[in-house]
Structure 1
Amino acid sequence: METLELTEEDGNGKKDSNYSYLALNVMLNEVLVDIVQSSLAYKLVKLECLPNARYIRNATCAIKAVNRYRSLANMECDIVDRLQNVSLNLEIFQRNTANHFKPFLVNVTTNVCKIFDRQSFDAYATIVAKILKDVSNVNHTCPYMNHLIVKNLLLEARYLPIVPPLGFYKLVLHFLEGFPYDDVGSVILYVQITEVKEFKALTRVPKFRQL
């Protein structure tokens, strides 16, 4: 136990103990504290595939739950002939308090073939291409033919250039062929972004008690 005395000097340089006196009795204890880490979880809650039968057949879409915060997307389809000049229109919508989806920041169209051929560097389309490279056989430049597959797609923060607000989002990927554009089909992903707090460990920290 330690006692501290604080005094203040007067104008003559003398210490005036009557002006200010503070006695602190400090006792050091150890307490256990949880270390909490927060992160964002991007959970796919709904998936829709809307193919154009002139280009796509045998399309399937499915969601596989991993845990309460994460899920995987799996998609497959067969190309009727071949796709030689594919473009992608990406739109993102955020659900508001009235339960309506409103446009959110992104509405871009870019040529997929040029991205994989490193002739285009549109930021958001490049993100889509990076994801496709990781989880699908759509990982090369045009043309695309035969069987296409996306397996175990997990939405992660590392793919995003910004940290979006918490909430519900709709991502619409509209695939187009040629120019003028002809509709190939759309994939719609509904995503919920939540904050996850994880208790990682216990650590000892000092606790000061005034007596």
Structure 2
Amino acid sequence: MCSNVNNFVRLVVILCLVLEISTKFEWTNIKCSTLDNSFCTIEYCYIKPINRTYKYVSLKVNLLKTPVTKINFAVYKWANGYLPFLYNLTVDSCRFLKNTDANPIAKFFYELIKSHSNMNHTCPYDHDVIIDKLSTDFLSNQFTNVLPVPEGKYMVKSNVFAYDILRARVDVYGTIS
């Protein structure tokens, strides 16, 4: 009986210590490229460090033709090179925006950028796409409270398709510690 109580106390102490651990996300790089200049151009795509602890990402894509029909995103984790980690999804962008609850994984990633972008309505998108000042603080909170993610270096590859042709790519790199 005494050993069961000791084991229980140890478990409670370990759980308390685990709950005190916080996750910190930090941007390390962003690469944006257009594969079809007649479809879209990238006006800007950068990480802006404000100080040692605060950075944000901003991105503006000028859509010259519409619509974007599919978006593929895949998460990679560093382990002697970037290897696939958990998710590789392709979603029909207009169908997804009509009902974001239909795909909870895509919804999680959409919610990461929704409040910092102009992508807050359903199709058709006939204007530029902007992500403005998406901060590391906001993402740290999401990766701590919403979806705990193990420490490591990560890359999220996003491929944008129109009419089943790859038109643009955005690769975002970060670390979680």
TM-score range, shorter chain: 0.7 to 0.9
Q: Secondary structure at the match of 1:135?
A: coil
- Report the TM-score when normalising by structure 1: 0.65
Question: 1 or 2, which has the higher strand percentage?
Answer: 1
1:140 match: 121
The one-letter amino acid paired with 1:90 is F
- Report the TM-score when normalising by structure 2: 0.77
Q: Which runs of 4+ in 1 moved over 6 A?
A: none
1:87 match: 70
Consecutive unaligned residues in structure 2, runs of 5 or more: 1-19
1:1-211 to 2 correspondences below 5 Å = 38-52=21-35, 53-83=37-67, 85-96=68-79, 98=80, 100-118=81-99, 121-154=102-135, 155-158=139-142, 162-178=147-163, 181-194=164-177
Consecutive unaligned residues in structure 1, runs of 5 or more: 1-36, 195-211
- Deviation at 1:112? 1.8
Question: 1 or 2, which has the higher helix percentage?
Answer: 2
Q: Secondary structure at the match of 2:108?
A: helix
The one-letter amino acid paired with 2:123 is C
Q: How far apart are the structure 1 equivalents of 2:106 and 2:56?
A: 21
The number of equivalent residue pairs is 153
Bigger Cα Rg: 1
Q: How far apart are the structure 1 equivalents of 2:147 and 2:129?
A: 29
CA RMSD of aligned residues (A): 2.1
- Sequence identity, in percent? 22
- Deviation at 1:46? 0.2
- Deviation at 1:137? 0.8
Conserved? CA contact 2:73–2:89, under 8 Å: yes
